[in-house]
Structure 1
Amino acid sequence: MAVTIKDVAKKANVAPSTVSRVIADNPSISDKTKRKVRKVMKELGYHLNANARNLVTKKTKTIGIVLKHSARYSLHNPFFQEVMRGIGSHCREEGYSLSITTGDSETAIYEDVIQMVEGRQVDGLIILYSRKGDKMIRYLLEKNFPFVVVGHPGQDYTGVTYVDNDNQKAAKDLTEFLLFLGHKHIAFFGGVLEYDVVSDRLKGYKEALNTHGIKFSPDYVKPLPYSRKEAMIAIDELFALPDSPTAFLALDIDYAIILSGVLTKRNMRIPEDASIVCFNNYEVADYTTPSLTTMDIHTYELGAEAARYVIELIINPQAIEKNVLIPTRIIERESHRPIKQEKPAEDVLMH
């Protein structure tokens, strides 16, 4: 026999009308009561008729996820996997499912979003990137549609809720970590500058150099897509400089792995010949050879907080926008070492 709303109400010790309001995600019901009722629904095996609910509430209980790249690429990206784990965890607690854009180009992804919004396929969106002058954000603001950005949307837009790290400070901290090891020629490796996260990290890199009296040189900055071929060209250019880099600040683990492979092919040892540090901290960092020193940006928390705030906007469209910064920390492993300092001539003679 099928489980009914009355069965759920009896076990949860609430009124059947309360169960109905929980199903409709009515804001008059406390989060504590919602969690209790949903737990009982799960225990009893109560399955909601989603189509019937949608007709009544005009809600889909679905969050749309907007990717930076095609799903084919993103599914293999550790950032995507970890941020989705955070999003999915919170959405499951709140009874929401997820729908992911499937376009294989920027235009196709934008068209996916229009279809999601105009076709009322989702109640809100989480955008997993931030880019200067992005037409996606402009469109969603014009539609007054609930959305949250993972990343800083920049100065072009106001009234946008976003979840991010202080990327400028994080890059400054990671660059200074290398400077304190004695490195003065540090390459900024990877990333596309049109994305705010990359330009903010470049600002932090420059700030650290300036603070320590080292003149910034654009020759050490190598923005590039995920491409082994382009990485090889960039590294050849770096090692053709009069003072080749002794350390690399990679924009994420994927760039660090590509970089490590190219340097190894040049018969260079890490960290003996070049130190590598990178952003993002995932399990794979422990299993590279050598293991990678990383800046942990707490990707899971970025996803969970983005889910929390987009659901808040769905429930209360008048909610004030929030700017949430997740802290970062350096995880030291094996891919860095202090640079060898040349002994002064008189010191050599004394020995």
Structure 2
Amino acid sequence: MARRPARLQLDPESVTADTKPPQTGQVFNLWYSRWTGGEYNGRTVAHARHRCHPAKDAGYTKADKHVEPGSVNRDKFICLYFARGYCTNGKNCDYLHRLPTDMDFFPHTVDCFGRERFADYRDDMTGVGSFNKVNKTLFVEKFRSMEGNVEMLVNKNFGEYGEVERTRVVRSKGIAFVTYRLESQAQFAKEAMYGQSLREDDDEEALNVKWANEDPDPVAKKRNREEEEQTALETAKKLLATMQEKLRRVEEKEPEQKTADGEETQEDVEKAPKALPAPQPSSIFANKSLDAIKLLQKKPTLATKLGYDSDSD
């Protein structure tokens, strides 16, 4: 199926000073889409005027020229404005217009948008987040109403931006927790759902989405560790399959020095360089990846080093 170009979410000519959120500070930071220096204290959330709809907005951009479909991405980041629903570049954007996947490997010091993370979270748990902890859970508040099937609405809305593993709605406190399978998808959803509403055309609701604090329950901690280890193991297997498929294609394109009956001629043998035969690339990568998977099965806590940060895989 032919890939489609990324949709233009917002006409550049329609962008004016009025498109900025209400002023709650002294300086407007365009990159973070927030006012800073002054009154902003994290409690004021304006209803977002735009929203990302991946089903119709996602498509290829200039960034996709450097990332083959189905291959591992280590160099290109997701478009922050695409996540917020108002990228004015469309297919001409230098960033990716799609959801993060488990084939995206971003440096742990930055998020999926390429913004620098910090050692510690902000006191109010807003911002880009910390590189010292894998956090896949979002804290959601500022619901206008807790009537009806809020759980279904939370799953439907947040499910647009990634694979949601579980949600928990606390009606008595008017809050919810949403956990994704991938941290990068939680990063995307945090930006995409900030200031949005669960019900279509509800301009009076503006959700505040922050990072969730770590659950102190030992059972929850154990479950999180097991989920991270399982995700790392699955990623290693996908990497192995991708490497084998790519190397198979390369080997199929190599010219064969064969005669009609499949035997090398004496001339080919004489012209061949006198060197020790090099091992086949496929066996090198296959053995290395299989060893990584076996090691992950024995010591899953090494998943980050083996599957996420190593440029030698």
Considering the TM-score relative to the shorter chain, is it more than 0.5? no
Which structure dedicates a bigger proportion of its chain to strand? 1
- TM-score (norm: length of structure 1): 0.23
- TM-score (norm: length of structure 2): 0.25
